[in-house]
Each structure stands twice: as C-alpha cells, then as structure tokens.
Amino acid sequence: MQTSTKKKLKDFLRVSSEFKLGQLDTERSHLKTKNLSVLAQENVNEAIEIISDIDLKAISILENELGPIKELKKEIEGTIESGGKVFICGCGATGRLALTIEKLWRDECKSKKVNLDDRVVSFIAGGDVALIRSIENFEDYPDYGARQLVELGFSENDLLISCTEGGETPFVIGATEKAISISKRRPFFLYCNRNETLTRVAARSRVLIQSPKVKKVNLVTGPMALSGSTRLQASTVQMLFVGFALLKNNKIKDDLNFLYHFLKSKPYLFLKSFIEKEANFLRQNKLLLYSTDENLGITVLTDTTERAPTFNLNPFENFKDGYSIPSNFYLYFPHSRNSLEAWKLLLGRAPRTFLWKEVTDETCFDRLTGFDFSCELISKRRNLDVSHEFFSIHQKEKGLLFKLGDLEHCLIIENNRPLIVHIILKMVLNTLSTLVMGKLGRFQGNLMTWVKPSNNKLIDRAIRYSQVLLEERGITASYENVARACFMTLEQEQWNRSLVMEIVKKVEKDQQGHDKVI
C-alpha cells in the first residue's frame, strides 16, 4: 500500500464512526427488492411493478404531511411578501432537486408574468457544476455549506429550506447552522429517517433535531428500492413536499390522489422494451444522447448524471480537458447554440459558480461551460470511434413522448401541472436507469456493488456491502480490514469494475490459509 493510501485509510478510519449509517432506514435493504437484479434479467415487468409499488408507498406518506406543507407554504409566502428570499439547499440528489424546484418556480413566474423569479435561490454542494458531477468530498464539510450560503447573500429576512435524504449530510447541516445564526426565520430541515435512529447513529444530526431553532420535517420513506440509492424514493418525496409548498397550487390533495391512481394503473410497463433496447445499445458500446429541451431538461439531466456514481459509469466528459473517456450518456439540447446558452435554458437563469482556490477549481465557471450539451456536442465528439443513439423525451399536450430507435410511446398524463409531470418523469427515468443497470449486472440483489465512492458515506457503503457479501460466503471480516481492502482497491484506479466485488475478492484471497475470520 502506498504511503498516500495509508494516510487516506488512517484519515477515514479516524472519522468512520461518523459515517457508519447502515442502521438508517434510507440505507437498509428493502425486503421487496432482495431479488431485483435477477428480476431485471428475467422478469422486467415484475421488477417495474415492484419499484412502482415502492414509489406509491413512499408518496403516500405525504397524505399525513399536509399540515407541515401548509406551514412551510405560509412561511414562504411571508418571506417573499416581506421582501426576503427563499434558499433551498442540498447535496447530490437533494441538491439536484433543489435546482429543479427553482427552475419550476422560475417557469411559473414567467408564465404568470410575475417578477419574483429571483426570490428563490437554490444551491448544491459545489455549485451548479455539481449538477453534472459531484465535487469530491465536498459534502463532507459543514464549513463549505455555511460558506456557500453566505456567499449567495443569505440575510436576516431570508428563509432556508435544507434537504438531506439521510438527515446527516455535513454540508447541509453546516448551512442550516449558519442560517440559524443569520436569519430571524427558523430554517426548515427535511430528512427521511426516524429521529430515534438518526440521533443515535449521527451525533452531528442530533444537535439540529433537538434544537428549537429549527423546524424539523421528518418524511420517513423506508428503504430505497435499490439499497442506499436515495436518488429514488427519498428525493421524490422531498421534491413533492417542497414543490407543493413553494409553487402556487391549492389542490395538493387532488394531486396526491391523482398520483395514487396513476401509479395504481401500472403505467410504466411500456418501459420493458425501452429497458431492453437501451441495455442492448450499451452492450454494443453505443453512446446515448438524451435529447430534450428546457421544459424537461433538468429532470432528464438529473437521472443521467446520477447513473455515473451509482453504477460506476463514465461521467459526463468535460470538453475543456485534453481527453476524457466519453460518457455512456449525455444530455442533448439540439436547439441551443452553445454551452452557456444551454446552461441558461436548463436552469432558467445564468449559472452560479465560484472559485475557492484553496479548495478546488472544479467549481469554477470555466469548468462548468466545459460540460457542453448544446448542438455543438456532436461536433466535439466527431473524432470518437463510436456511434450515437438518440433517446428523445418531449412533453406533448396530453403527456410525455418517448422515442428510442424504432420504439415510441406516449405516456398519457391527465394532470399537466409542471411539478406532477416532472415527478412522473423522474420516477419513469429512475425505474428505467435502475433496471437497465440491472440488465448489465451493475448491482447484485439490491446492493449497489458498483458504487463509486466520492465521499465518506459512499466509502462506508462500499465497506458495508462488501461485509454483507462476505458473510454470505461464510467469511466474517472486521470493518477495519475491509476498509483496508477498499482503499487498496481504490489505489489501483481500475475503472469499470465493481468496487465491492473487487474488495470481496481481495479479502477472500487474503484469508486463504487462515481461519475465515479476519
């Protein structure tokens, strides 16, 4: 093991107790999806139905949250009427939902010709560039959350809505604590785990949950369809909660009732042929361009970018780099002229970036514009010895039109409220991408065995999943020894391999000739 790797391992083990989150509901394995990887291979329709049922159950919890939604709505209205701003923050999936909600707000202001679009400010750990690629370890530092909040101009009359699926993300906690010290308004803190478990497992969460200066909103969704993948049900429920409170809609019960009956009708079974075709294209090493426009772009982008860390795929390449391995998926705005125009259309505003030289240059404006999903994308990939396939997704008068190769399907959606359309599209794409990856063997059972660990929480997840698979093979290995195997595997920088399975192989090899206890 290299000296630098030994130091990284030592540094991680020193703080690992703060990131051992396996007892949280959002990290546990869902009983209904224990066999999801097999179903993805052998019975796609059943897999689709199971995920849809889990989505339905998660959304149904909002029926008991109408009071807190109305309370947040009232606080938002009071903030804006008094000249203040509403800030929404998150990391990873919740950061992307924050940016999505702001885009919907701006679209609503534009359609109603109301000049309030700048009253909502969303931010994600690392700035807008992290919408495409999370900044390494950024969410592990509470000071970064506080700093971003302050630099965005948060003031004493402003309201912060903090979204964290698990309830323990240091970045979001740091932003929330800073908001308490600045604003006269109590911040709202949204999370998806039970208080008694969260306060026991994560000491950093305990301070906020027990504080009278914070309005807690506990949305217990239970385990995700894919273990730990909070881009699924947890972020869906939080996006609905914040969207209902922020957007001008007084028919929340009607919308929930519509979603209930919509999901009950099993509308996603059309996905089977799309899942099989996309998986076949990927097996043929074809690159997929998800072609859409500014109406749906941010939700399409969210799902395609989240595939890279979840399933260890090539992330969106940055065209400012000399060369990057081309991404399996890329967003495509064929009618935007250049990168900056595409970004403005995507966000409904100019992108927000910053440069902290002492931390990283990955968050700067130049880096952001290197991710180019405009009409120039094709020419920039011209020299690649690969072929492209286009997955077109557009909104029609009565629903969403999907086209992939010779496949075409219009998903009828009778409720055309933008929030509802985006939530449905999110669930469709989450189901599609999860089961495509299942077809390609990118998870086992319902464990994210191909997870790419870009922060301490994901490193812990890889270690825990390795221990589960080792125990299934009759091997009991200590957390420290599996962590050592994890860092040694990461040291080799072997791209396009299952990190968890590589760890399992290494521990198995190391124990040969010894008792099966390490």
Q: What is the pLDDT of residues 473-511, one digit of tens each?
A: 999 999 999 999 999 988 876 667 898 999 999 998 887
Assign 513 a pLDDT band (cuts: 50, 70, 90): low
Question: Using CB atoms within 10 A of its CB, is residue 205 exposed (0-12), middle (13-18) or buried (19+)?
Answer: buried
Q: What is the 3-state secondary structure (H, E, C) of 484-504?
A: HHHHHHHHCCCCCCCHHHHHH
pLDDT at residue 518 in the model: 43
What does the alpha-carbon distance between residue 141 and residue 383 come to, in Å, rounded to a whole number? 40
Two structure tokens written together for 414: 């009778």
Q: Which residues pair with 260 in a beta bridge?
A: none
Over residues 323-346, the mean pLDDT reads: 94
* Helices and strands per DSSP (H, E), number in the chain: 20, 10
Specify the pLDDT at position 495: 63
pLDDT exceeds cutoff 60 at 82 = yes
Over residues 227-246, mean pLDDT: 97
Residues 24 and 168 in one domain: no
Type of residue at 135: I
| Better-scored residue on pLDDT, 280 or 455 | 280
Residue 23 and residue 149 share a domain: no
Domain identity same for 123 and 212: yes
pLDDT of residue 129: 97
Quote the percentage of the chain above a pLDDT of 90: 83
| Of residues 399, 45, 445, 376, the one with CA closest to residue 227 | 445
Confidence band of 516 (pLDDT split at 50, 70, 90): very low
pLDDT-derived band at 132 (thresholds 50, 70, 90) equals very high
> In terms of domains, do 121 and 17 share one?
no
Q: From residue 171, give the alpha-carbon distance in Å to each of 117, 134, 167, 410.
A: 26, 13, 11, 40
Give the DSSP letter of residue 26. G
Least confident piece of the model among 127-131, 307-311, 348-352, 407-411: 307-311
pLDDT surpassing 50 at residue 181? yes
* pLDDT in the model for residue 20: 86
Q: Same domain for 24 and 148? A: no
Spatial distance between the Cα atoms of 327 and 389, rounded to a whole number of angstroms: 13
Which residue, among 127, 118, 72, has the nearest Cα to 96 in the 3D structure?
127
Residue 128 and residue 24 share a domain: no
Domain finish residue from 184, 218, 252 = 218
Q: What is the pLDDT of residues 100-109, one digit of tens each?
A: 999 999 999 9
Q: What is the pLDDT of residue 4?
A: 85
Give the model's pLDDT for residue 294.
96
Under a CB-based contact definition with an 8 Å cutoff, are residues 328 and 278 in contact?
A: no
- Tell me: do 8 and 92 sit in the same domain: no
pLDDT of residue 100: 98
pTM above 0.85, yes or no: yes
148 or 7, which is more confident? 148
Dihedral pair phi/psi, residue 291, rounded to 5°: -90, 125
Residues facing 89 on adjacent strands: 123, 162
Mean pLDDT (whole number) for 4-14: 90
Q: Are residues 97 and 190 in the same domain?
A: yes
Q: Are residues 84 and 183 in the same domain?
A: yes
Q: Find, among 2, 24, 10, 7, the residue nearest to 464 by Cα.
A: 24
Nearest to 398 by CA among 431, 421, 419, 429: 421
As a 3-state breakdown, the chain gives helix, strand, coil percent values, each rounded to 5, of 55, 10, 35
| Residue 213 domain flag | yes
Q: Is 491 exposed, middle or buried (0-12, 13-18, 19+ CB in 10 A)?
A: middle
Alpha-carbon dihedral 115, 120, 126, 128, rounded to 10 degrees: -40
| pLDDT for 493 | 64
State the number of CA atoms in the 13 A half-sphere of 26 facing the CB: 30
Q: What is the tens place of the pLDDT at every residue in 188-225?
A: 999 999 999 999 988 889 999 999 999 999 999 999 99
pLDDT greater than 60 at residue 515: no
The tens digit of pLDDT for each residue in 427-437 reads 999 999 999 99
Question: Which residues lie below 8 Å from residue 379, measured CB to CB, with a gap of 6+?
Answer: none
Output the pLDDT for position 385: 75
- Assess if residue 457 is contained within a domain: yes
- pLDDT, position 322: 80
Instruction: Find the domain containing 74 and state its range.
Output: 66-218
Distance CA(290)–CA(343), nearest Å, equals 15
176 and 109 together in one domain: yes
**Mean confidence (pLDDT) of the chain:** 93
Mean pLDDT of 35-44: 98
Separation of alpha carbons 90 and 205, rounded Å: 15
Between CA 444 and CA 491 the distance in angstroms is 24
In a domain, 136, yes or no: yes
- Domain end among 160, 185, 218: 218
Tell me whether residue 172 is in a domain.
Answer: yes
Bridge partner residues of 218 (DSSP): 191
* Domain presence at residue 345: no
Q: Could you tell me what percent of the chain has a pLDDT over 70?
A: 98
pLDDT at 304 over 70: yes
Q: What is the CATH number of the domain that holds 131?
A: 3.40.50.10490
Which tokens hold the place of 249?
Answer: 């809609």
The pair of structure tokens assigned to 70 is 């109305």
When pLDDT is averaged across residues 440-465 and rounded to a whole number, the result is: 91
Terminal-to-terminal C-alpha distance of the chain? 18
Please say if the pLDDT value at position 281 is more than 90.
yes
> Residue 473 corresponds to which amino acid?
R
- 112 confidence band (pLDDT: 50, 70, 90): very high
The answer to whether residue 359 is domain-embedded is no
- At which residue do the structure tokens 């319902």 appear? 446
Residues 6+ apart with CB under 8 A from 462: 451, 453, 486, 499, 500, 503
- Looking at residues 317-336, what average pLDDT do you find? 92
Sheet holding 329-332, edge to edge: 329-332, 287-291, 388-396, 399-404, 407-412
Note whether 25 and 95 are same-domain residues. no
Angle subtended by helix axes 170-182 and 142-151, to nearest 10: 50
Cβ pair 386, 211 in contact under 8 A: no
Residue that is last in its domain, among 191, 218, 245 = 218
Q: How many domains does the chain have?
A: 2
User: Do 15 and 158 sit in the same domain of this protein?
Assistant: no
